[in-house]
Structures are given as structure tokens and as C-alpha cells.
């Protein structure tokens, strides 16, 4: 940073960043990873039953790769813990006001895992009501988080990303950062029913991308949105914090998927504490919010 | 799939003068005696078809069961046009169907085929995206459409109450072709309105494929609920591109009030309750009828939509 004072050095650094971003944007590997994906049931028009289109993802990949490599400078840990094939449920903490954490987890499995694996996130029911966003999400393979949709995808041996905190996690206020909110239990029942391994995932860095001073609840009710955060930047756009994505060991749960809430709750707690341990590790590993 | 050739017993088609009734009759009447009930005329009906020009709900319609040995009933007497009002739709869909079910039991009918629709699964942000026959019927939006749900559920519960009658409930996806229904009317428009920023999955089936599906379920032993979906689902924009017509993008908040006003005044045949299919889509799983009855659709997407092309 000491050399940043000279204007010529600033320009040089900018030029360097611009050229590396351009390189990522046109990197053939970024789109080639989509061709390596297998196991999707596409129809003759190139769409699956939920509207996912690999060709569309190819077009969405360059901006995602730039965000992944240059904006959030994402570092992944133990990515091989995500199995190469077979059904899997990735359970992650949710943060950052806008779901860049989900996008970066998905991108990490495409860019940093070899061979790549497609990840499909379960999204809020609110998302399909949004113009443009709904189309983007559906074409990228995101599915509305109903149990039936999840069951269908798991039976097709797909990898599913679930944020059990839901809206309570992503829109939490600054003072609550890195405190996992209440987990929903649905993912555990599905995992037990379909005998799916659970892979805990922690995202560190997304918490600080947007400072949410307070949730404006009256406005959220009025606009019919899950939350309206009040942020210093007005729009909840992310700052370039450094992302650390940590993958944990697969957890297997057996037993009666229809057991009562307390029994399921105990198992959910095990997943939650596994994610908490990963978050702790991530916080230890990083040198600061931006590095 | 050729229907069984037993000369003595007949097939009764309710709503025979409708498009499906007429097509089915032309395919069936050479092999089996066909009896029809419809208040509307059947202009150039084949000579060997016995017509009862009566209201299905009237007592006289029962004569068809008394005078003929009915083996199979194909129930097509179903009203989908919501402009007729809830009361008319109720008596048409629910009361008439109750009468048919009743007669099926009393006159020893062996098979009952009902043409329901997959629209009944509903289409909203809350409904499922992948629909097999077990998916809940969440498509009722008002009293008029709930009569269609009631009809479907009445027939499925009849299936369990009266196992002696082989009951088949067919739920086809959006039927397109020369017929007049909401999806065909929409595709026939010279300019196609589309909701700005929405591109849901759409799934259509050609009317001939629906007729083929009905014929497939005539197979002895076939019973239960069957989805019939036709070619796989594609985004609405992909389907509309095949039509080569101008597309008008309308903000979704404006679309509904505009469309419902035009519909009520009769300017436009696209019912506002169908707008949800322009916003939220789903994929209908019809693997059951393909697996169990060997049904295969003949019309691919572009063939099914050829009818609606700008310059066909």
C-alpha cells in the first residue's frame, strides 16, 4: 500500500487488475467446466424439468468468475469433501443481505473443483415472483425450496444447497454477524428420508460485505419482501470483502424421518455446531475482513 | 392402440358434439357402437352413432343407459369457460358428473374415462414445479374453477369407492390445436403478450395426442389417474419464438387489470385466471401413462404449434 501514493503506481495497479479481469472474462476454462458436467436430465431443447439450462449458465459464468476470483478473491478449503457423484445436501450459513454467498459456493464447485460439480440451491418462495431475477435463478438451476422439489432433485442424485436459516440468516443485522440463526428442520427430515449425506459449509467474509444497521420491518411488510435493510450505502450492494468457503466432513444421519421435533432438533444441532466450528476456523484463518 | 372389438356393448360419449367427442367418434364408430349425449347438434355424425340430444342433467339422458348396453363411458361434458358463471359451471361440471357416476354404478358400466386437466395442479409461487399424479390440486382460484377441482376429486374418490368400475382420470397439459380454449386462443393472437421479466416453463400437447391418450386408456385393465404432457416443457420464450409473431412485453402489474377488463367485455378470449401460466410454470411428469400404457406423443413442440404460426 506504501507505493499506492504515486499516481503512476495507482494507474499501473488499475491496469494490472483490468487486464487480469479481462483474462478471467475470456478464460475458456470458465465456460468449459460447464461442458464437463454430467448427470442432468435435459430435454431436446436443452432444459431440465425445472428450467435449468447449461447453455445459459455458460453465459452467466464470466461475471460470476470475475466476482469469485477478483472481487471476493475467494479461497476455498477442503473442496474435495463434496463427493464427485451421488446425492448430497450442502448446508451452509447464510449472510450478506444479497445471496452472493450461494452464488460463490456454486461457482467454487464449478471453478475450483476438478472435475466440477453443479450445485442447485433451494431458494426463497419469494424469488419466483420477481421479474428477471426469477428467470436468471431458474436458468442457473436454482429451485424453489419446497420439500417436493428437493426430493425430486435428490432422487436424481443432484447436489443441493440449503440455507436452513433462510431469510432470518441473510438479512441479519450487523451486530448479529457470525451468530447462526434458528435452523429449519426440513432439510434433516429430507436427508434422513432419502439417505443423503450432509456436508456442512461455512462462508466467512460475506457477513461483512454489507453493513445492515437495522431491518426496516414496516417497509418490508409494505413491499411484501422478506426484509428491507437500512445500510450506509442505501442499496445493499456488497463491499469487496475476502470470501473464505470451508467445506466440512460429510455427516450421515439414519433413523425415522418422521420422528418428533426434539429428536430431529438434536440432529440439526449437530449440523449447526459443525458449521459453527467451520466458521470459527475460517475466522481464525483470515488475516482481516479484506484479506 | 386399437380399442377392443366387442360388437354387443357400446361406448357412451358425453359431450359428443364437442371437438374431442367428434374426433373420438370418428376413430371408434367402425369398431364399437357409439352412443352420444349432447344438447348441441353433431352435424355430419356417422350414421351408426345413436345421438341423444338432451341435457345430461335431465332425466331423459338416462335413456341412453337403459336402451343400450353401455360398457364404457367417456365423459367429456366438462365446461372450462369461466364466463358462464359459477352456477352454470357447477351444474355442468359437478351435477352432471354426479349423474354420470351414478348411472355407471346402476347400469354396470365397466369403464369410465374422464378428461380432466393438469391445470388443476395450479401455477403460483407456492405450487410445485414438478408435478406427478400425486401432486395436490391447488389450481382452484374461485368458485368457477373449483368446480373443475371438485369434478376431478369426485372421480378419483369414485375410483376407490367403486373398484368394479375401471375409472381413468386423464390430466392433460395445455391442449393446443384447432379447438377454442385459453392456451390456443392465446397462441392465436396476432401479437403475443408476455409478462416482462418472466419466462416460465410451458408445456403443450396437441389435441390429436389427447385423443390418442383417451384411446390408449380404453385398454382393459387401465385405471387410475394419468398425466398426459406431450413434448417436454420449454421456456415460454422458446415456444413463442417458433411462432414468428411479434411479442409484446407487458409489466406484470399492469397486465392483470388490463386483461381481466378485456376478458369481461368479451374483447379477448384469454381468461385472466390463466395469466398465472405466463408467470409461473411447471413440468408435468407423464411417465406413468408412457410406462403403463405405452403412450407416446406424436406431435413435437414445433408441430403442435405449427397451427399458430404467422404464415402456416
Question: Of the candidates B291, B288, B123, which has an alpha carbon nearest to the alpha carbon of residue B202?
Answer: B123
- State mean pLDDT over A7-31: 89
Q: Residue B272 above 80 pLDDT? A: no
- State mean pLDDT over A128-139: 94
Write the residue in A45, A50, A132 that is nearest to B129 by C-beta.
A50
pLDDT by residue (tens digit) across B195-206?
999 999 999 999
A146: contact with B, CB 8 A cutoff: yes
Contacts of A41 in chain B (CB under 8 A): none
pLDDT confidence bin for B311, thresholds 50/70/90: low
Write the residue in B126, B234, B252 that is nearest to A47 by C-beta.
B234
How far is the CA of A188 from the CAs of A193, A247, A279, B130, in angstroms? Answer: 8, 18, 20, 21
Contacts of A128 in chain B (CB under 8 A): 125, 280
Burial class of A19 by CB neighbour count within 10 A (0 to 12, 13 to 18, 19+): exposed
Inter-chain touch B283–A131, beta carbons under 8 Å = no
Q: What is the dihedral of CA B94, B24, B9, B105, to 10 degrees?
A: -10
B282, B131 contact by CB (below 8 A): yes
A155: contact with B, CB 8 A cutoff: no
Domain boundaries, chain B: 10-177+204-230+283-299
Q: Residue B257 above 90 pLDDT? A: no
- State mean pLDDT over B162-188: 93
B233, B203 contact by CB (below 8 A): yes
Inter-chain touch A135–B128, beta carbons under 8 Å = no
Predicted confidence at residue A1, as pLDDT, reads: 47
What is this model's ipTM? 0.86
CA distance B41 to B304: 28
CA distance A243 to A29: 22
Contacts of A146 in chain B (CB under 8 A): 128-129
B84: contact with A, CB 8 A cutoff: no
Inter-chain touch A47–B281, beta carbons under 8 Å = no
Whether CATH 3.30.70.3270 fits B10-177+204-230+283-299: no
Inter-chain touch B129–A49, beta carbons under 8 Å = yes
Domain boundaries, chain A: 2-285
Inter-chain touch A44–B232, beta carbons under 8 Å = yes
- State mean pLDDT over B3-25: 83
pLDDT by residue (tens digit) across B96-140?
999 999 999 999 999 999 999 999 998 888 778 899 999 999 888
pLDDT confidence bin for B236, thresholds 50/70/90: very high
CA distance A140 to A57: 5
Interface test with B, best of A40, A44, A49, A137 (most B CBs within 10 A): A49
Query: A47 CA to chain B: closest CA distance, Å?
Result: 7
CATH topology of domain A2-285: Glycerol-3-phosphate (1)-acyltransferase (3.40.1130)
pLDDT by residue (tens digit) across A190-204?
999 999 999 999 999
Inter-chain touch B201–A51, beta carbons under 8 Å = yes
Write the residue in A49, A134, A148 that is nearest to B283 by C-beta.
A49
Query: B263 CA to chain A: closest CA distance, Å?
Result: 24
Interface test with A, best of B202, B230, B233 (most A CBs within 10 A): B233
3 state DSSP class of A23: helix
Positive or negative CA dihedral for A111, A112, A116, A119? negative
pLDDT confidence bin for A4, thresholds 50/70/90: low
- Torsions phi, psi for A91 (to 5 deg): -115, 125
Inter-chain touch B129–A149, beta carbons under 8 Å = yes
CA distance A166 to A171: 9
B252: contact with A, CB 8 A cutoff: yes
- Number of residues assigned to chain A: 291
Amino acid at each position: 500500500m506504501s507505493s499506492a501514493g504515486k499516481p503512476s503506481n495507482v494507474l499501473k495497479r488499475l491496469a494490472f487488475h483490468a487486464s487480469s479481469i479481462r483474462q478471467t472474462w475470456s478464460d475458456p476454462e470458465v465456460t468449459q467446466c460447464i461442458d464437463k458436467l454430467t448427470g442432468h436430465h435435459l430435454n431436446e431443447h436443452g432444459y431440465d424439468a425445472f428450467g435449468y439450462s447449461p447453455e445459459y449458465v455458460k453465459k452467466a459464468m464470466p461475471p460470476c468468475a470475475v466476482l469469485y476470483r477478483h472481487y471476493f478473491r475467494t479461497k476455498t478449503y477442503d473442496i474435495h469433501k463434496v463427493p464427485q457423484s451421488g446425492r448430497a445436501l450442502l448446508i451452509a450459513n447464510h449472510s450478506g443481505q444479497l445471496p452472493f454467498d450461494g452464488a460463490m459456493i456454486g461457482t467454487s464447485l464449478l471453478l475450483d473443483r476438478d472435475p466440477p460439480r453443479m450445485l442447485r440451491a433451494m431458494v426463497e418462495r419469494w424469488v419466483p415472483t420477481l421479474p428477471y431475477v426469477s428467470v436468471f435463478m431458474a436458468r442457473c438451476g436454482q429451485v424453489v425450496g419446497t420439500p417436493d422439489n428437493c426430493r425430486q432433485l435428490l432422487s436424481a442424485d443432484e447436489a443441493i444447497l440449503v440455507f436452513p436459516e433462510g431469510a432470518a440468516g441473510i438479512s441479519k443485522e450487523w451486530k448479529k454477524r457470525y451468530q447462526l440463526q434458528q435452523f429449519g428442520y426440513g432439510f434433516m427430515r429430507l436427508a434422513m428420508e432419502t439417505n443423503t449425506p450432509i456436508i456442512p459449509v461455512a462462508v466467512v467474509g460475506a457477513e461483512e460485505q454489507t453493513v445492515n444497521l437495522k431491518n426496516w420491518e414496516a417497509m418490508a411488510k409494505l413491499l411484501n419482501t422478506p426484509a428491507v435493510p437500512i445500510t450506509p450505502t442505501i442499496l445493499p450492494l456488497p463491499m469487496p470483502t475476502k470470501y473464505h468457503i470451508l467445506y466440512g466432513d460429510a455427516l450421515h444421519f439414519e433413523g425415522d424421518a418422521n420422528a418428533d421435533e426434539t429428536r430431529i432438533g438434536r440432529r440439526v444441532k449437530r449440523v449447526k455446531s459443525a458449521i459453527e466450528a467451520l466458521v470459527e476456523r475460517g475466522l481464525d484463518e483470515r488475516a482481516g475482513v479484506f484479506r | 392402440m386399437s380399442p377392443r372389438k366387442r360388437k354387443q356393448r357400446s361406448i357412451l360419449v358425453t359431450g359428443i358434439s364437442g371437438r374431442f367427442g367428434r374426433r373420438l367418434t370418428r376413430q371408434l364408430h367402425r369398431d364399437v357402437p357409439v352412443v352420444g349425449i349432447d344438447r348441441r347438434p353433431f352435424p355430419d355424425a356417422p350414421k351408426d352413432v345413436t345421438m341423444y340430444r338432451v341435457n345430461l342433467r335431465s332425466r331423459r339422458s338416462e335413456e341412453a343407459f337403459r336402451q343400450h348396453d353401455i360398457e364404457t363411458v367417456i365423459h367429456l361434458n366438462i365446461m372450462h369457460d369461466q364466463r358462464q358463471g359459477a352456477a352454470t359451471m357447477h351444474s355442468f361440471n359437478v351435477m352432471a358428473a354426479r349423474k354420470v357416476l351414478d348411472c355407471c354404478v346402476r347400469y354396470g358400466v365397466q369403464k369410465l374415462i374422464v378428461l380432466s386437466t393438469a391445470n388443476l395442479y395450479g401455477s403460483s409461487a407456492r405450487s410445485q414445479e414438478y408435478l406427478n399424479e400425486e401432486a395436490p390440486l391447488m389450481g382452484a382460484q374461485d368458485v368457477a374453477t373449483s368446480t373443475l377441482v371438485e369434478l376431478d376429486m369426485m372421480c378419483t374418490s369414485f375410483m376407490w369407492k367403486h373398484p368394479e368400475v375401471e375409472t381413468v382420470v386423464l390430466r392433460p397439459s395445455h391442449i393446443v390445436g384447432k379447438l377454442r380454449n385459453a392456451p390456443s386462443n392465446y397462441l392465436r393472437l396476432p401479437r403475443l403478450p408476455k409478462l416482462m421479466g418472466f419466462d416460465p416453463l410451458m408445456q403443450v400437447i396437441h389435441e390429436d395426442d389427447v385423443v390418442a391418450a383417451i384411446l390408449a386408456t380404453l385398454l382393459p385393465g387401465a385405471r387410475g389417474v394419468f398425466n398426459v404432457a406431450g413434448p417436454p416443457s420449454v421456456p415460454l420464450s422458446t415456444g413463442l419464438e417458433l411462432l414468428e409473431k411479434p411479442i409484446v412485453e407487458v409489466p406484470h402489474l399492469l397486465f392483470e387489470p388490463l386483461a381481466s377488463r378485456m376478458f369481461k367485455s368479451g374483447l379477448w378470449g384469454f381468461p385472466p385466471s390463466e395469466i398465472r401460466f405466463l408467470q409461473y410454470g411447471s413440468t408435468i411428469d407423464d411417465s406413468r401413462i408412457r410406462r403403463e400404457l405405452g403412450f407416446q406423443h406424436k406431435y413435437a413442440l414445433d408441430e403442435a404449434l405449427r397451427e399458430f404460426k404467422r404464415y402456416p
